[in-house]
Amino acid sequence: MPDSAANNDVLLSVEHLAAGYGAVQVLWDVSLSVPRGQIVSMIGSNGAGKTTTLNSIIGVIKARKGRITFKGEDITQLPPHQRVKRHISLVPEGRQLWPRMTVQDNLRLGAFPPNLRKDADKSLQRVYDLFPRLKERRTQLAGTLSGGEQQMCALGRGLMAEPELLMLDEPSLGLAPKLVDEIFAHVESIRKAGVTILLVAQNVNYALQMSETAYLMETGRITLSGTSKSLISNPYVRDAYVGKT
């Protein structure tokens, strides 16, 4: 693991994780740590196992081996809703909004667990303060929003769970460059508000420029890790990944 992680309060620790789908194993001995208050990025090609890692952390996919620890508690066997109750939130790839529900109803579903509902109005106001455009479109059906607005709605829904750890799976996928800038500016604002972020992004340049620590995943394994500056200057990473973006 990167030295930088050892010198900070570790919020999330994944140790020797193995996971997969049915008979197919996707992750092999994956270990990573996420220090509190940082943006940590995971980079790698499509199909490398990054999304499977996030789904294992949130509990959608069960770990076959290994341990997942959050704030010092072993959560490896907890179901997803119990992990959300502990303030872990995932914004999935592709946004996965309910297109025929309003923006506000989509957001409120992010605070569905009983322990979150009592503060849902306050959380909703914080989301609207961060994304004024969502407030303007709160009665609009989510399926009629632009791609950038849908991503804002997905981010806002993730924030409704009052996360201490927010995991973002390809938040800029399919967006025009100007909108990519806007989304990543919001991601930085979220971090400054005190939320720790685990970021998966195809845009390697953005991911490594925004994060302090980074992991390279290839064929279900972590093959490189370190400070983001060290990875972005690594000749292999630059030739294989940075040049593509």
> Which residue ranges form the domains of the chain, and what is each CATH number?
1-87+164-245 (3.40.50.300), 93-162 (no CATH)
The whole-model pTM stands at 0.90
Say if CB 168 and CB 197 are below 8 A apart.
yes
Lowest pLDDT segment from 18-22, 121-125, 170-174: 170-174
23 secondary structure, DSSP code = T
Could you give the angle at the alpha carbon of 152 between the alpha carbons of 114 and 70, nearest 5°? Answer: 50
Residue whose tokens read 């220090």? 35
Question: Per-residue pLDDT for 11 more than 90?
Answer: yes
- Residue 174's Cβ-side half-sphere holds a number of Cα atoms within 13 Å equal to 10
d(CA 78, CA 218): 27
Say if CB 23 and CB 32 are below 8 A apart.
no
How high is the pLDDT of residue 66? 98
In the beta sheet, which residues pair with residue 21? 24
Helix runs in the chain, H state only: 3-6, 50-58, 80-85, 103-108, 114-117, 120-130, 132-136, 147-159, 177-192, 204-210, 228-232, 235-240
Mean pLDDT of the chain: 91
Tokens of 81: 């809703």
Lowest pLDDT segment from 128-137, 171-180, 187-196: 171-180
How high is the pLDDT of residue 24? 95
How high is the pLDDT of residue 189? 92
Tokens of 138: 């709160």
Question: Per-residue pLDDT for 90 more than 70?
Answer: yes
Count of CB atoms situated within 10 Å of the CB of 243: 10
pLDDT-derived band of residue 4, with 50, 70 and 90 as boundaries? very low
How high is the pLDDT of residue 227? 97
Could you give the angle at the alpha carbon of 125 between the alpha carbons of 101 and 121, nearest 5°? Answer: 75
Say if CB 173 and CB 185 are below 8 A apart.
no
**Residue 104 burial (10 A CB sphere; 0-12, 13-18, 19+):** buried
Tokens of 129: 């303060």
d(CA 116, CA 94): 24
Tokens of 142: 């989510």
Bridge-based pairing state of the strands 165-169 and 24-35 = unpaired
CA dihedral 216, 220, 223, 226 (to 10 degrees): 40
Question: Per-residue pLDDT for 3 more than 70?
Answer: no
Count of CB atoms situated within 10 Å of the CB of 178: 8
